Copies of this chain bind each other. A is one copy, B any other.
Amino acid sequence: MALRALGSKAAAALDKELMSTGAFSIDQLMELAGLSVSQAVWKLHSPQKGKRILVVCGPGNNGGDGLVAARHLRHYGYEPTIYYPKQSKNELYQRLSQQLRDLRIPFTEDFMASLSSTDYLVDAIFGFSFEGEVREPFPAVIEALRDSKVPVLAVDAPSSWNIEQGPPSDGPGKGYHPDALISLTAPKPLVKWFKGRHFVGGRFLSPEMAEKYGLDIPPYEGIDQCVEVPAN
């Protein structure tokens, strides 16, 4: 049985509720989301398979999850590099970036060069709030992710995919099928079109919130912050 999916409007409402009546701060939620991403990387691609991880961060919360994940990956012994071409002035993202600089994690401005010298990729460009056009400089980046042989873990959504309707029929994301996906809090409707390995992370949903939004609590095991679920 597939886990029930959370549409983009419902995902935005759930996020808002978690941070109002749910009393979570965005720092907390992003820490747990990014931690679950880092654990999925560990399960998919152990350091023995190659320590170099290129984390591609978009301008919003999906990019923030990527920044948190990179920090944890560094502590696990990986060698992350960040490509973060549209850095937000938002104080939280600036702090998360500083935490990475203090760990001597490099920020690259040359995506193609970094792509050619990495063992694994994390696509943290766009998440559940993505709609419309892929803006510069991301079209070429997404095409490169599509064409690269380096395996990719997408965070919450393969970037450029429509949250409700899945893979785009044209544009840079046409034909982009990452090897793996980690859905945060709950799968989005696009998972119906996703054929790779699928994880769910973000272990903070209460049973009552899950019920209110018509979601399932994923079958997390032990102390794991993410869990692999069957492909749809």
Contacts and interface: CB of A to CB of B under 8 A. Distances in A.
A211 to B, nearest CB: 12
A87 interface: no
Number of copies: 2
A103 B25 contact: no
Contact of A22 (B31, B75, B102): B102
A206 B23 contact: no
Chain A contact surface mostly: helix
Contacts of A71: 204
A96 B22 CA distance: 10
Interface residues of A, number: 32
A135 to B, nearest CB: 27
Contacts of A25: 25, 27, 95
A84 to B, nearest CB: 15
Interface in A193-222: 203-204, 206-209, 220, 222
A72 B224 CA distance: 10
- Give 4 closest A-B pairs by Cβ, nearest first: A23-B98, A23-B95, A27-B27, A25-B27
6 contacts: A23-B98, A25-B25, A27-B31, A31-B31, A75-B203, A102-B208
